[in-house]
Structure 1
Amino acid sequence: MSNSDENWDLEIVPNTGLFDINWRELWQYRDLILLFVRRDLVATYKQTILGPLWFFIQPMLTTFMYVIIFGNMAQISTDGSPKILFYLGGITIWNYFQECLIKTSETFIANQNLFGKVYFPRLATPISIVISSLFKFLIQFSLFLITWLYFLFHKTPGVIPNITILLFPFYLILMSGLGFSFGILISSLTTRYRDLRFVISFGIQLLMYATPIVYPLEIASEKYKWLLLLNPVTSIVEAFRYAFTGHGNISCYNLLYSILFMIISLFLSVIIFNRVEKTFMDKI
């Protein structure tokens, strides 16, 4: 029988161009993505004593520490918002961005054995990380929501929600897009420059202090405020706080900058990721 008479259920051919990304194939592997999501959720706190309770314990302990150190000892302003709500809100949305970035940045290194044994769209792995991180975020956000409702019910000064709260899902999409794009870009670079793995955690800490998590943007001097606004995460955190408390710096221009930054970085990082995955197994 000639080759022309052979009928195959699946034919795997190499992609040759930078823009050859099979989005349809990625959708066909959606069950695998959900399997990865389940794996990430189960494996995170497997064989731990407190299990999923760590989702609540971590932000609570961090918030109390920030209240003591930055709120009481350093006397840093919270722009009129209750200290617990101010720090908890910043920590909650920052943790989601940080989780997406760090976990996706380990895509190639953490899954090199799996990538070498079976074929599937490599983008399925970082996408599953963003989804599983979203579940963790929603758990922590419920803690923030309970705290927010407590202050709102008691009509605490400094808690004045507004109509922009409806944009909360949009802010979440921006955060996930930035974390995803930065993460897969770093993951692509670490296949060639392995020492980048050692500066990720350090760089994340620096980026956190360049984001108004433990301080409001308003206390920054005009001389340095523009530098903070170069960070695309800054305007999202400020808009998030403004939506729930009425305090914060919200600007359509700054949000537009974050949107454009996310779109461009996502476009470039997916292209680079697509190029690296073709030769990844030859480099390790």
Structure 2
Amino acid sequence: MEQNQQQWTTIIKPRTGWFDIDLKELWQYRDLVVMFVKRSFATLYKQTILGPAWILINPLLTTVIFTVVFGNIAGLAESGVPSFLFYMAGNAIWSFFASCITGTANTFVTNAGLFGKVYFPRLTMPISQVVISFINLLIQMLMFFCFWVWFYFFGQEYGTVQMNLWVLALPAVLLLVMVMG
């Protein structure tokens, strides 16, 4: 009794664990991540009056409010650092983390129809949201660096501004925040 042996081209296997991530497949779909980033960035800022300028205006206004409320009214000390820079650095990292959390939490709900129609690695959607948040963070950090340079040369009456070796820990901190988000 001889059975027909068929040769299958695709074998579907269940995942072996929670962290079974196929990085090779994600790399193959990197153009899809770029497309999702462009689409999300365009939809986020085309529908506002100020457009992409909102990336700069929002943290600037938040920093001014924090400086007035916590720095001037509450009188919280920042150990010799200008309070504006202190709150701007904190707001940049916090807004990065918050946008990562809210972006990735909503991605599966808002794109549920797309997931049922086409196959692609599901992790591409959250990765694209984190990339958008990271682009916003880079723009905010550029703004922070401009203010840091201004305080370094002209703002000595507000406190001392210096670089130290803790700057080298910034990539590790950003990676940690990105993974947690």
Fold match, TM over 0.5? yes
Partner of 1:235: none
Question: Equivalents in 2 of 1:142, 1:108: separation in Å?
Answer: 31
Letter in 1 for 2:105: S
Question: Equivalents in 1 of 2:177, 2:21: separation in Å?
Answer: 23
Q: Does 1:120 align with 2:152?
A: no
Letter in 1 for 2:144: F
Q: Does 1:87 align with 2:87?
A: yes
Question: Equivalents in 2 of 1:20, 1:85: separation in Å?
Answer: 41
Partner of 1:160: 162
- CA shift, 1:97, in A, is 1.0
Question: Equivalents in 2 of 1:151, 1:45: separation in Å?
Answer: 30
Q: Does 1:173 align with 2:175?
A: yes
**RMSD of the alignment, in Å?**
2.0
Letter in 1 for 2:95: N
Computing the radius of gyration from Cα coordinates, the structure with the larger value is 2
C-alpha change, 1:76 and 1:131, in structure 2 (3 Å) is same
Runs of 4+ in structure 1 off by over 3 angstroms are 2-6
Question: Equivalents in 1 of 2:73, 2:169: separation in Å?
Answer: 34
- CA shift, 1:25, in A, is 1.3
Letter in 2 for 1:162: N
Question: Equivalents in 2 of 1:133, 1:3: separation in Å?
Answer: 51
C-alpha change, 1:109 and 1:125, in structure 2 (3 Å) is same
Question: Equivalents in 2 of 1:123, 1:64: separation in Å?
Answer: 36
Q: Percent identity over the alignment?
A: 43
Question: Equivalents in 2 of 1:56, 1:42: separation in Å?
Answer: 16
Partner of 1:133: 133
Question: Equivalents in 1 of 2:42, 2:5: separation in Å?
Answer: 45
- CA shift, 1:14, in A, is 4.4
- CA shift, 1:57, in A, is 0.6
- CA shift, 1:155, in A, is 6.3
Identify the range of structure 1 (158-167 vs 56-65) with the bigger mean alpha-carbon deviation: 158-167
- CA shift, 1:102, in A, is 1.2
Unaligned runs of 5+ in 1: 180-284
State the Cα deviation string for residues 69-106 of structure 1 (Å, max 9, x = none): 11111111122211111111110111111111111112
Q: How does 1:199-218 map to 2 (within 5 A)?
A: none
C-alpha change, 1:170 and 1:16, in structure 2 (3 Å) is closer
Secondary structure in 2 matching 1:88: helix
- CA shift, 1:21, in A, is 3.2
Question: Equivalents in 2 of 1:76, 1:149: separation in Å?
Answer: 24
C-alpha change, 1:47 and 1:16, in structure 2 (3 Å) is closer
